[in-house]
Amino acid sequence: MPARRPIKNPHAEAEQFRRRAALGFAVVLLSLVGLAAWYFKLQVLEHADYATQSEANRIRPRPVVPARGMIYDRHGRLLAENLPAFRLEVTPDKAGDLDRLLEELGALIPLGEDEIEHFRKQRAGARGFHPITLKMRLSDEEMAAFAVNRWRFPGVEMEPYLTRHYPHGDLFTHVIGYVGRIDEQDLEQLGQGGNALTHIGKTGVERAYEELLRGKVGYERVETNVQGRALRTLGRVPAVPGSDLHLSIDAQLQAATVAAFGELEGTAVAMDPRTGEILAMVSLPSYDANLFVNGISHADYRALMDSPSRPQFNRAVLGGVAPGSTLKPFLALAGLDSGVRKPEDRTLSTGMFYLPGNSRGWGDSHRGGHGWTDARRSIADSVNTYYYQLALDMGITRIDAYLGRYGFGRPSGIDLAGEIGGILPSPEWKLKQRNERWYPGDTVNISIGQGDWKVTPLQLVRATGALADDGRLHRPHLVQARRDRFDAPWIPLPQPDPELISERPDNLQVVREGMEMTVHGPGGTARAMSVGAPYRMAGKTGTAQVVSRRGTAAVNPRSLPLHLRHRALFIGYAPAEDPQIAVAVAVEGGGYGGSTAAPIARAIFDAWLLGKLPEGLESIDAPVPDCAPDPTNCRAPAPAQGTAPAPAVAGESRR
């Protein structure tokens, strides 16, 4: 019997349909309510946030890097300037395959291995939307080639900027220093806003006055299209240019000092003893600071590092040497001021000096001795025995106290970073450094500037200036004044009051007379430098030993290889009756101060007091040759075009 089909229930089906329809309607209604709530959240509650994001997509803030301040010498000659240039920047997020980009771009514009390596290193630590410099300082040909093919390289742009340039090359490298590309350590120090900068002062005045020279970064609001191209500028917070600096350095005297050294290596510092202004500061050999501005190549850097002469080493600030006999005027003053000696007190020099019960002797500068010697003659003839006995009579504690007062054993305070304080020998220093006690023989050694001494030429010239300026110890400085705009007046930078090293003008006069006899006296160790001079000088020669004596035998420095020869030293000032310039000269491998260092000092004096330049040196203000095709290779005339000579500021010395 066939199965019976179920009978339909229209009411049940209708009820089921209504329930499903109601459920569906509820779902649709909830969805609409949720959508409406979401739209309300977007359009009302979060309108400001999304409007800001939309505006940020349309308007991009772009940093405006300020022009770096210029640097001038004391007469307005331009020493550091800014030149317009273009660099190549890559935005990784827009550039696509970077390896392919570098390959194709390298076929169009030469890219060095150093540039590619630096780019990859910067890319590893930067965000993709942040532009990274690929090549600095494009040539005219490279700019033209890229402009024609720009469409092939999305995310690559030519950006204008001002690059630092040093017109005098290596002449002022150890004074002005240089700027270099910012690294990670620099960014940490700069903090927020540092990403806008590409260069920062690395050495010299550029580093010491970085904040003044750098200025303040500004910003502009740029409207862009969907491709990110700039359409117009909507607003701007202007950048504040860096301040210009007016140095006390004289470019002509600097060039004359370098020429006076010839092929010799060493350092010289010239200072106005009345103010502490540094007139010239030379460390030889030097190097071209322009090499570092946009990134030095591995080859050039290796050549500098491998040079046994260490051209990057600033001998004037970092180079500590034993002062040798240049210490004698200061120890003589200490003996007089302490009351241990009177000017007329005499010491017998027989050629050798012995401590009681000691068979090892200390020789005098003349093997046969100098006979009876007073304070003045001890300086002029450089009589060691006078100082051997004086040091023993004073004692090391009293010596340290007086010589520390003269500026030894501490930085001079010059406005350059990294200056060392040298070594003022003492029992405490020897015990700490060598775990050894102090012996009377140590006192004898340090009395003539040997032993554990270490002084810088800056300390020597500062102390010499104090002798010349009636005992006033000035802080040496390079920067005289600043100005915040081109048309603004120069503002002198304040300097601390000088320290007084002696309250006895009569004792200072005794020392000055002894130094004048050194140059003009019949037995003076520097009498050869006075020949033909129309003015009188005062000075002291010195020899700093690099190798020790064997027993009591003296070593003839000329018999040694150059790198083992003694350093030749000279300190002095001129004119003797009205000092206007003080100098300290140290010649590496020079042998004797009187024959090597003193003639250099005489050339410096002549250049400053008489305007007489070393033979073969042309005036630095002479017209320069045609600068075409590359103006960066030409030295700027002085004063710079469009720049009035820097006016005299408070404390500027007369010539």
Residue 34 CB coordination number (10 Å) = 10
Q: Find, among 551, 542, 526, the residue nearest to 586 by Cα.
A: 542
pLDDT at residue number 170 = 93
Give catalytic residue positions.
325
Q: Can you tell me the mean pLDDT for 351-369?
A: 87
**pTM, two decimal places:** 0.80
pLDDT above 60 (res 488): yes
pLDDT at residue number 99 = 79
pLDDT at residue number 44 = 78
Confidence of residue 239 (pLDDT cuts 50, 70, 90): confident
Is pLDDT larger for residue 639 or for residue 184?
184
Confidence of residue 228 (pLDDT cuts 50, 70, 90): low
Average per-residue pLDDT in the chain?
84
Dist. CA 69–CA 318, nearest whole Å = 27
Dist. CA 370–CA 167, nearest whole Å = 52
Ramachandran area for residue 513 (φ above 0: left; ψ -120 to 50: alpha; else beta): alpha
pLDDT above 80 (res 235): no
Is pLDDT larger for residue 463 or for residue 418?
463
pLDDT at residue number 405 = 96
Q: Can you tell me the mean pLDDT for 551-562?
A: 48
pLDDT at residue number 109 = 82
pLDDT at residue number 19 = 82
Q: Can you tell me the mean pLDDT for 233-256?
A: 89
How confident is the model over 450-460, as pLDDT tens digits? 989 999 999 99
Q: Can you tell me the mean pLDDT for 625-630?
A: 43
pLDDT above 50 (res 173): yes
Residue 90 CB coordination number (10 Å) = 22
pLDDT at residue number 162 = 85
pLDDT above 50 (res 640): no
Cα–Cα distances (Å) from 224 to 89, 195, 229, in that order, read 18, 21, 5
How confident is the model over 576-607, as pLDDT tens digits? 999 999 999 999 987 777 889 999 999 999 99
pLDDT above 90 (res 612): yes
pLDDT at residue number 57 = 62
* Structure tokens, 424: 């003022």
% the chain with pLDDT above 90: 52
pLDDT at residue number 327 = 96
Dist. CA 123–CA 130, nearest whole Å = 9
Q: Can you tell me the mean pLDDT for 52-78?
A: 80
Query: Which residues partner with 246 through β-bridges?
Result: 72, 481
Cis peptide before 639 (omega within 30 of 0): yes
Instruction: Identify the weakest region by mean pLDDT among 288-297, 387-396, 423-432.
Output: 288-297
Is pLDDT larger for residue 402 or for residue 367?
402
pLDDT above 90 (res 87): no
Is pLDDT larger for residue 481 or for residue 104?
481
Instruction: Identify the weakest region by mean pLDDT among 130-134, 292-296, 492-496.
Output: 130-134
Amino acid at 373: T
pLDDT at residue number 626 = 46
pLDDT at residue number 629 = 40
Q: Can you tell me the mean pLDDT for 84-89?
A: 85
pLDDT at residue number 54 = 61
Dist. CA 145–CA 39, nearest whole Å = 51
% the chain with pLDDT above 70: 85
Confidence of residue 50 (pLDDT cuts 50, 70, 90): low
